[in-house]
Structure 1
Amino acid sequence: VITISATMIKTAVIESMAAISAIDQDELDRIQPDTAADIFRTTPGVAASMNGDDPATAINIRGLEQYGRVVVTLDGARQDYWRVGHGSGSFYVEPDLIKEATVIRGPVSNAYGSGGIGGVVSFETKDAGDFLKKDERWALSEKLGYEDNGDGFTTSTTGAYRFSDDADIIGNLIYRDRDSYTDGNGEAVPWTGERVTSGYLKTTLRPADGHELKLGAILQRYNDQITGSSGSTSPTLSRYDTNTTNQTYT
């Protein structure tokens, strides 16, 4: 007799039979993350790292990371980015898209079908219902940012429209342009600038009671420079102008 059982329901983190942390929308609004790594600054047992010459993020859970040890999903789609050499196991995600991030430590992440021995990090993007108030049919927001250590400009535009109680749509467009930043001695750290363009569209349809269909697309393009050994600033290493395109459809 073979019995297969899967349970994945919304419950309080404290009631779960696993080491779980959840960063919800209220916490994200408080943190105001500029990168995906900022989301996990206060999450126990979790370290998120970024190299200055690579906009990708790598997650470390209890000392395990990369090469499939920690699985990252975005709306259920695995982010299996791979680059030959250092940095394998990193992923690309814009924090402005995120509604909730769930971290499960250890191999008890079978509800996500991951098989990651270190754990799983599950990102969930915003729905129109998370952006619109109950009595709103449409809404638009604009977020601007500027940083002066390595002149950087960020613009993020989000809009949503509710056709009816059974259909809505949300979209977001992000553009970041950053120059190389300077260290404590006032010297520019080479190859740490980047340009990021990200588009996001998600629609939710409810054809009948108890039925819900979500269609989503996330398109990201990163223009930066990476060195022969990621994270090294040695002037003797080869460097490459890199264009990375990441497309996620759900």
Structure 2
Amino acid sequence: MIGADTFRLDGRLALVTGSSAGIGLALARGLAQAGARVILNGRDAGKLARAGQSLRDEGLAVLERAFDVTDAAQVDAGIEAIEAQVGPLAILVNNAGMQRRAPLQDFPREQWSELMRTNLDSVFLVAQAAARRMIPRGKGRIINVCSVQSEIGRPGIAPYMASKGAVKMLTKGMAIDWGPHGINVNGLGPGYFKTELTEKLVADESFSAWLTNRTPNRRWGEVAELAGAAVFLASDASSFVNGHILYVDGGVTAML
């Protein structure tokens, strides 16, 4: 039976990485609105505290934990502290990510390494640390934030495309290995959304015109429109959804 409770997350603890702004903050807000206790994560403790207070001012149950998701030692210590001090993680959203743009022949090698650490390594590190604790409990939800660039490309962002394509396949691998232990692992693939990171693209009239013509919904996405998909993947409504990438893109990946 499907009812309102099917999509509720009451009593569940969720960690959202990279959630002091943008898509991560929107996902955290959505999970909290569905009843979850949410832990915000980022490297900037001050920015994280301000984001957490903004959600608490909305009446939502939110905590903050600052640690670097690209550092294995910090990840292990951070997850251990959350489990010991707050409670067992039921939901993990791997959202932390970054973008760097340059022609591939000129792309700095140090930026390649930085981008891969942030977009790919962090997903492995945090998910592994969480899964090691979810497996004995026989349940859990992991949502890895992919991208439409997990499927389609644009000039100047080949390393980003490579990282998000890898996150897509890592998500499937996690689902295969951890599904037998009661853990569902899925991807959330945002299209083009208005965030702090896309301000220049939004302001670029020629790009925005190209994008809206390329998008069946004929507009940019608003970050709040990602929350429903995250709640679905975190809830009992998706109990038999595993290894799937849910694109929320206004139809961009459907249109040539």
Q: Larger % of helix: which?
A: 2
Q: Larger % of strand: which?
A: 1
TM-score (norm 2): 0.30
TM-score (norm 1): 0.30
Structure whose CA Rg is larger: 1
Higher relative contact order (CA 8 A, sep 6+): 2
